[in-house]
Amino acid sequence: MLKAILGKNIRYIRESKGVSQKDMALLAGFTPAYLGYLERGQKNPSVDLVQKIAAALDTEAYKLFLIKSDIPTELTQLIHSIWDLGPEHTEFITTVIKAYVKTKKNC
């Protein structure tokens, strides 16, 4: 399951940044075919390779392991966009969302 999560996240982040498999593989130092295996959850990369992938995607390695399988695609994209804004903005938006949810629960 972890390989599948990693693969989906690699593909999502790569595609959201407009990076081709070929370019991504070149940046990370392996073949596009190997990247395809990773994105399909068919390979288990080393920690060093995960860090190279994260660097190639200009993201942090732990983000490649976040579980988002039950979240709709649009919401996942929003979460990534908010996260990329940085901690200050993420905290503000989280506060706004919590306040909104609280008002809806009290209706």
Where does the pLDDT of residue 67 fall: very low under 50, low under 70, confident under 90, or very high at 90 and above?
confident
Residue 82 predicted with pLDDT over 70: yes
Name the pTM for this structure. Answer: 0.64
DSSP code of 62? G
Where are the chain's structural domains? Answer: 1-68, 71-107
Second CATH level (architecture) for the domain 1-68 = Orthogonal Bundle (1.10)
Query: Which among 8, 3, 23, 7 has a CA at the least distance from the CA of 70?
Result: 8
pLDDT reported for residue 19: 93
Q: Is 18 left (phi over 0), alpha (psi -120 to 50) or beta?
A: left
